[in-house]
């Protein structure tokens, strides 16, 4: 399933899209770009914790993306 999981107060919010539907792809792209503008980091992760990659541009074929909010030192 193609989805963006964004970490938030509810645990995570999911935006899913069907790659065959351009409007869904564009909506997902808009969400991705909006979160990146707010300082979120995007990671494409594989199943079972295998190392993923950091993403700076939206790739509709990427699969599962996790959007991580900004970090701070405590």
Partner 1 sequence: MVINVWDSWASTISTTSTTSSLLNTWYTWTGPNLGTSTTTSTWSHWVGTDNQRIYVHQPRVINKYVPPILTPEQIASEKKMRDERERRYAAERAARKIAVERAQELLMMHLTPEQRECIKKNNFIVVEGGKSKSMYRIWTQKGVHGNVEKIDAKGNAIENWCVQLRDSLIPDGDHILAQKLMLELDEDHITKVANKTLTRRVA
What is the contact surface with partner 1 in residues (CB under 8 A)?
A: 5, 7-12, 41, 43, 45, 47-54, 66, 68-74
Q: What strand order describes the sheet that includes 41-44?
A: 11-16, 3-8, 64-68, 41-44, 53-55
Pick the closer one to partner 1 by CB: 11 or 23: 11
Smallest distance from the beta carbon of 46 to partner 1, in angstroms?
9
User: Kindly report the CA angle at 59 between 65 and 26, in degrees rounded to 5?
Assistant: 95
CA distance 67 to 12: 9
Pick the closer one to partner 1 by CB: 9 or 23: 9
Pick the closer one to partner 1 by CB: 54 or 61: 54
């Amino acid at each position: 399933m193609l989805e963006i999981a964004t970490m938030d107060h509810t645990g995570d919010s999911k935006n899913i899209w069907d790659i065959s539907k351009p409007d869904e792809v564009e909506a997902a792209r808009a969400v991705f770009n909006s979160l990146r503008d707010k300082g979120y980091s995007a990671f494409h992760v594989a199943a079972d914790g295998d190392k993923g990659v950091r993403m700076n541009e939206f790739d509709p074929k990427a699969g599962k993306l996790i959007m991580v909010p900004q970090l701070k030192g405590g």
